[in-house]
Amino acid sequence: MSRSEKRARGPFGLGPGLRLGVGFGASLAFACALSVERPPEARDSDPRAETPQAPEDGFAALRITTARIRGLEFLEPVAIHEVARDDVLELVRFELEEAQPASYAEASRDAYAALGVLPVDIDLIDTWLRLHHEQLIGMYSPSRRAMFVVAQPAQPDGYAAEVTVTHEMIHALQHQHFEQTVALLRGLRRNDDVLTGISAAMEGDAFLSMFAGSSGPVFKRSLETAKRLRRGMLVELSDPTGNLALVPRLLRVSLVFPYAHGVVIAARAYGGESCSSWLPVELWAPAWCRGNRGLDRMLESPPLSSGRVLFPDQRVSVEFLDLPLDALSAQLRGRGCTQVFDNVVGSMTLGVLLEDFRAPDAEIEALLPAWRGDRFAYLTCPESREFAWLSRWDTAESAQRFARVYASIAPALAADRLSAPPRVHTAGRSALVLTQGLSAARDRILAGTETRAYESFRDWVEDDCFPESPCPAAADVIVRAAVPGLSPGDASPE
């Protein structure tokens, strides 16, 4: 692979999908906008994925099939509305405004622009509206507990519509059975990297399972299949078309990440690889940790960061930081500054930043798995933009390595964004990036930052989602009886 090809793909290879990415801090809804192609006739055909006798209502048939394939019951009916392509903008705008106010989108844009991964003048809401208008096929809305399917999609052969509806029905099942996880996806505001992990789990589950009950050829839910799907999706990121080609690379990556990497972690969960053992998984993995139960376990405790998605074999804690925001504000007191936004960069966005500013491939590939946690805070002043970014690394050597790489890109990063290049300081495993106006607060930030490490998503939630605490709560928990006729039946793994 040439250097240009590698840079186009990035060191972690991505593919297509839709998540309301950086700038909003939550999913728009569960949206499906990938280009769905028929699986090859001769590959991965699975005769056990037989479609039951179809009732007169085609959607009812898909509900039954989806419940059986995914091994979950529908606890309440899910309305399905067909909408015209021209109505998509109004639908998406409602979801955007329901998820986040415009002021939050602007603050997020400004913060990520100062960090170096977005243009300073992009209108995020309009950008997302254009992308969804062009690509949206189907969407499940948690706020309305209903599905929307675009009539006459780009591939009107019936297959695309069938698997899209199945995909969205799986999201409806996720909402009904994993209410807390969905509540966190919708409610977290200061942990975008956690949202990336949750999104990858949910989109991966839906993407892996949506072909299993199709009326045409199917894909088995296997790791081999998932990796092949991921490889096939790389083209859409390295050679985007339409409006996707016009948006900043961070938005493209945050759009495609949950599908491409999510399908692989879902396949690992389905195969039982999330259970630790020195034996081959096919020789020992118990029923409670593989098949649909393995997917359920993944949704109950999704990856805690984008790094956990990219490097699923890592058995290391994720470190969450709480910066002393009062110290930052005190440093700028009297200048009319306001603390606008704080969040987590994470491995995914770190990769975009380093690639956008032409850091050497070898450095990027070494740094991404070495990341352990971070937090940045952005403050806006009448005459400047200021930010502090404290990151944690696996070793002091990795922190110093990041400092050297960051120092090499800082001059280009500051152009048109900041009054001067930020400087980076190291202290043990920590690296602290500061703009000029905050440089005197270095010691107070290093001394005053609280750090907590978590081994799992469940551990983090039990600690009340530090430092965003309290955890967002589910708006309403499903306690209704299962809808008659929609029992999943035998949920044994394939």
Could you tell me the mean pLDDT of each successive run of 10 residues in the chain, 494 residues long?
32 27 39 49 37 51 92 93 82 76 84 93 85 76 87 58 88 96 92 96 94 70 89 76 84 89 94 65 63 94 96 94 89 80 96 95 97 95 89 98 97 87 97 94 95 97 96 64 49 41
Which pLDDT score is estimated for 286?
66
Query: Do residues 127 and 251 make contact, with C-beta atoms less than 8 angstroms apart?
Result: yes
Residue partners of 280: CB distance under 8 A and separation at least 6? none
Surface-to-core class of residue 428, CB atoms within 10 Å of its CB (0-12 exposed, 13-18 middle, 19+ buried) = exposed
Surface-to-core class of residue 385, CB atoms within 10 Å of its CB (0-12 exposed, 13-18 middle, 19+ buried) = buried
Query: Do residues 25 and 189 make contact, with C-beta atoms less than 8 angstroms apart?
Result: yes
Nearest alpha carbon to residue 312 among 347, 356, 351: 347
299 and 326 share one domain: no
Query: Do residues 266 and 228 make contact, with C-beta atoms less than 8 angstroms apart?
Result: no
Which pLDDT score is estimated for 289?
76
Quote the pTM value.
0.86
Question: Both ends of the chain: CA-CA distance in Å?
Answer: 36
302 and 382 share one domain: no
Position 478 in a domain:
no
Position 467 in a domain:
no
298 and 336 share one domain: no
Which pLDDT score is estimated for 30?
62
83 and 16 share one domain: yes
335 and 236 share one domain: no
272 and 352 share one domain: no
364 and 234 share one domain: no
What is the span of the domain harbouring residue 426? 318-452
Position 282 in a domain:
yes
174 and 215 share one domain: yes
Q: How many CB atoms lie within 10 A of CB 325?
A: 15
392 and 297 share one domain: no
Total domains present in the chain: 2
